[in-house]
A and B are shown apart, each in its own frame.
Chain A
Amino acid sequence: MSIDWNAFTPWPALAGGLLIGLAAAMFVLLNGRVAGISGVLGGLLAPVRGDVAWRLAFLVGLVGAPLAWQAVAPAPVPTIDAGTGALVAAGLLVGYGTRLGSGCTSGHGVCGLSRLSTRSLVATLAFMGAGFATVYLLRHLLGA
């Protein structure tokens, strides 16, 4: 293992993390809900009456964040190297997997670990482990 010091950005990462934690804290104290993005979004696919508006409101805020940012300063441009086939496969896996596993990086990773949930710790170790293994396989064994 070698650390890529040029890419390492501890301060923005920490600042962004504090904001994410703040958002999760706001959501649980103000709304009484866990800020799990896959759960908020997935709940719209089997909608229950009276359980839709808050989901849409949260998602409008989330998707609107870059627009709010751009109103003040140019937003950073993401680098998406995956091709269309890989994006489709990854999207299907992430969509199905997060619903089957009841959460993603936000619900299990941020909120679950903040709640000291063993179930979320297991989920987080599983998806992080699978993520590390997949990148190792693709970059170092298959050379993609």
Chain B
Amino acid sequence: MANLYAALAGLVFGLGLIVSGMADPAKVLGFLDLAGAWDPSLAFVMAGAIAVGLGPFALARRRERAVCGEPMRLPTARQIDRPLVLGSLLFGIGWGVAGFCPGPALVALGLGETKALVFVVAMLAGMAGHAMLQRRRGGA
């Protein structure tokens, strides 16, 4: 049942990315281009998503278990450290170069876009590179 729920959540997430315009890098770059002809649309995506998310996440925090029976696994890290900031800055630079973040890139891949495939393969390589460095340092 847990896997069915996960697939359903992924499906709704993907449909949301298509409806919102986030799956279109040109639209994303139009939002990130404050100094050009700015398209503020994507601020509405974030606002809509958070408006819906606030209640359920507050509820989740008070529960021990999810509906599927597994324990509630919410992030526990609190510290603002170098990896958090440096990683987010690197991510933002990459986002600004191509207009893709991970979710929309996977949706564009599902749309059959060859360029999305190039991006996703490079993204996986970047993720694998990070996992390799972590292992070498003996981290988790």
Contacts and interface: CB of A to CB of B under 8 A. Distances in A.
Interface of A: 1-4, 7-10, 12-35, 37-38, 41-42, 45-46, 53-55, 57-69, 75-82, 84, 86-106, 108-119, 122-124, 126-136, 138-140
A80 B84 contact: no
Q: Which DSSP category, helix, strand, loop or mixed, fits chain A's interface?
A: helix
B10 A23 contact: yes
Interface of B: 2-27, 29-30, 32-57, 59-61, 63, 65-68, 70-75, 77-80, 83-103, 105-113, 115-116, 118-131, 134-135
Given A4-B38, A82-B98, A106-B103, A61 B14 contact: yes
Q: Which DSSP category, helix, strand, loop or mixed, fits chain B's interface?
A: helix
Given A17-B16, A65-B17, 10 more contacts: A21-B16, A25-B55, A67-B110, A78-B25, A100-B86, A101-B88, A105-B101, A113-B50, A114-B54, A115-B57
Contacts of A88: 118-119, 122
